[in-house]
Structure 1
Amino acid sequence: MTERLDRARILAGQHGIDALLVTPGADLRYLTGYAAKPLERLTCLVVTQLRVQLVVPELERAAAEAAGVDMEIVTFGETDDPFALVADLVGNAEIVAVDDHMWASRVFALQEAMPEAGFVLGGQLVSDLRVVKEQSEVDALRAAGAAIDRVHARMGEWLRPGRTEREVGADIARAIIDEGHEQVDFVIVGSGPNGASPHHEVSDRVIQAGEPVVVDIGGTTPAGYCSDSTRNYVAGGEPDPGYVAMLEVLKQAQHAQREYARPGVTAESVDAVGRRIIAEAGYGDRFIHRTGHGIGQETHEEPYIVEGNGTELEPGMAFSIEPGIYVAGQWGARIEDIVVCTEDGIEVLNNTPRDLVRL
């Protein structure tokens, strides 16, 4: 963690930032290893060019120490003003950067405590550090991918006609924990027409024989890294030929994107490769979202694989490749893998069948 903090301090200096303030969330965990809870009492990492300190309530010092925090811990009592304390630690900083997810009430209180300072967003600064994964992070993402693959491999235990999406989703959620995650982040079970809504979760709709079901699931492992994978299923019957033809187009698009992605190509060009195939097959207006998102200690982070993002891929960047086709009122399909950019291509972290899985 010391190296990450040193890099944060250097990058802050290069951007003219005198102090970086980070409250509980993925940025704090990345920089300190401490997965602090976002409670009403302030926890705040203070990074200046002179030193790094963690401000915590006195009653949470033990938790921070147990998490292995390797820096000076500054505590405050129940009736103390933690924002005044942070202001004292920051000193005469002119430009203060705050993490993007800091509560508005915290930002206003800090501004009141430091009326002479200018405040800017610091999220991009930390994102620039997080976007290229270290080997330990790639290992953690690989383990998360294998864990969610094990859940997909068990889908036949739960997904069958006559059950509701909610019932199937509850079973999946238990399996996500059983297969090695610390928490369930999301469970999407989109049967029939519900599959045409990319962010549908679960409902009381009863799954029918022969209709397609989109299953998009993910969680966070004890190491703090996320999984996310989508596959398509049909149970108890044969799917409509029109759906099968549509899914074949989607498979071709996703395969082409995986084959194309490598260091030096832009994020938007990966999106364009699959989008072109889908459009040429007549489904262009049915691919209604970006191709993918970065992943790490958050399910969605940089880099985003979308038109307009000219970021060149680099070894260590981890992201999803998940084109989708959605026909309102009928069905939808999405194929999603998490991949990591290597020196000469990508490593695919999800390896369950990408064909329509018949249960």
Structure 2
Amino acid sequence: MGASRFESSVYEHRLRAAAAAAAQAGLSGLIITPGYDLRYLVGSRAQTFERLTALVIPAVGAPTLVVPRLELASLRESAVVELGITVEDWVDGEDPYDLVVAALGGGSVATAVTDSMPALHLLPLADRLGRSPVLATEVLRSLRMVKDPAEIDALRKAGAAIDRVHALVPQLLVPGRTEAEVAADIEAAILAEGHSEAAFIIVGSGPHGADPHHEHSDRELRAGDVVVVDIGGPYDPGYNSDSTRTYSLGEPSAEVAQHYSVLQRAQKVAVDAVRPGVTAEQVDAAARDVLAEAGLAEYFVHRTGHGIGLSVHEEPYIVAGNDLPLRPGMAFSVEPGIYFPGQWGARIEDIVIVTEDGAESVNTRPHDLIVVPLPN
């Protein structure tokens, strides 16, 4: 495996699967512009500009990459050359949309485009096709939701790296330091542990812990604070970590300890519920039911989890109403939380991968409320 992408054989398999899925859906093909779908299919981190770059995957026939000549150098990092994909380059004054239509092989059957395609390209493309394309989301979601062995290995490495960061967090949580100062140290640790960037850092101390999407502020940590630390980011070749642990500066009150023990049980019950055939909403209900039995249902204000991979948030979503049966290889967070406005909050989050008979967690740090001793 290279530093920025997988071996070419991984992408070769994905391209074949995408073409087969397009054919099964009755489409003439897929048109993929830069974004996570393009990165998934050929390992390209190309960006979207006013000049069109598009991977055309016909349902029948070989794929073609339409790319501006001045962007040809961007192909070097991808698997395009090794895979022998036909490259149709174009220069200003030529019409790239005609090249896309030709690469599809003609016909009047519906074509699907990636959901990140800018309107700047979608509208002229629809004009050339003579009809509005449909979204490729439904075709690609079934592929991207089920991780292959290379992706699972990448998620394990990302999980281990963010676990090493969480192991350092207690020494950073010192009364008098601000959330922002702690976050800066965490960012440095995330990069030092091999991530390409810190995608998000939540340091929610005291009442800020009751805001699930708080980031960090100039609030100073205080003795007695409960602190939610939710961190993650991409780890080459671009698969994300995401893990939350909750810390207490000094021994927690009896009430905090009691409520947290219920949360810990809810998270464990939800992870234990994960196995093939169980639906996403059943995992959500497993966590929610434990909290409801303890009278804490109203304090759990978000879904139990989200899929993860090249995107921090992707399908499957572990939420009420999602009757999608789980399949081996699906990867998602299990992260129930409790939030008491103006007081404190707590969340426990692991990334799990569905196995043939249960779930494997890529995060192995303790789930207990982590008590940070106060300085003498």
TM-score (norm 2): 0.92
1:95 aligned partner, one-letter code: A
Amino acid at match of 2:102: D
Identity of aligned residues (%): 52
Q: Distance in 2 between matches of 1:16 and 1:279?
A: 45
| Distance in 2 (alpha carbons) for counterparts of 1:39 and 1:224 | 21
Shift of 1:295: 0.9
Match of 2:44 in 1: 34
Q: Which of 92, 95, 98 is the matching residue for 2:110?
A: 95
What one-letter code is carried by the residue in structure 2 that aligns with 1:10? A
Alignment of 1:23 onto 2:37? no
After superposition, what is the alpha-carbon deviation per residue over 1:245-273, rounded to whole angstroms, capped at 9, x for unaligned? 11111001011111121111111111111
Aligned to 2:6: none
- Runs of 5+ in structure 1 lacking a partner? none
1:127-176 CA distances to partner (integer Å, 9 max, x unpaired)? 11111111111111000000000000011232211111111111111111
Report how far residue 183 of structure 1 moved: 1.7
1:163 and 2:173 correspond? no
Contact 1:94 1:117 in 2 (8 A): no
Q: Cα offset for 1:104?
A: 2.3
Q: Are residue 61 (structure 1) and residue 72 (structure 2) matched?
A: yes
Alignment partner of 1:184: what SS?
A: coil
Given the alignment of the two structures, is residue 308 of structure 1 paired with residue 318 of structure 2, yes or no? no
2: CA distance, partners of 1:183 / 1:79: 38
Q: CA deviation at 1:93?
A: 4.1
Cross-structure match for 1:106: 121
Is it true that 1:82 corresponds to 2:96 in the alignment? yes
Which one of 316, 321, 342 corresponds to residue 355 of structure 2? 342
1:293 aligns with 2:303: no
- 1:333 positional shift: 0.7
User: What secondary structure is seen at the aligned counterpart in 2 of 1:128?
Assistant: helix
CA contact under 8 A between 2:54 and 2:67: conserved in structure 1?
A: yes
Secondary structure at the counterpart of residue 47 of structure 1:
strand
Kindly report which structure 2 residues correspond to 1:232-271, keeping only aligned pairs within 5 A, or say none: 232-235=246-249, 237-271=250-284
Determine helix, strand or coil for the equivalent of 2:23: helix
Moved more, 40-49 or 87-96: 87-96
Cα distance, 1:84 vs structure 2 = 3.3
| The 10-residue stretch of structure 1 (256-265 or 87-96) with the greater mean CA deviation from structure 2 | 87-96
Aligned position for 1:225: 239
Question: 2:314 & 2:144 partners in 1: Cα distance?
Answer: 9
- After TM superposition, the score normalised by the length of structure 1 is 0.96
The aligned counterpart of 1:192 is 206
What is the letter of the counterpart of residue 66 of structure 2? V
SS in 2 for 1:171: helix
Unaligned runs of 5+ in 2: 1-10
* RMSD, aligned α-carbons: 1.4
Return the letter of the residue paired with 1:265: V
SS of 2:238's partner is coil
3-state SS of paired residue (1:239) = coil
Aligned with 1:129 (options 138, 143, 150): 143
SS of residue paired to 2:203: strand
Q: Following the alignment from structure 2 to structure 1, what is the Cα–Cα distance between the partners of residues 201 and 147? A: 26
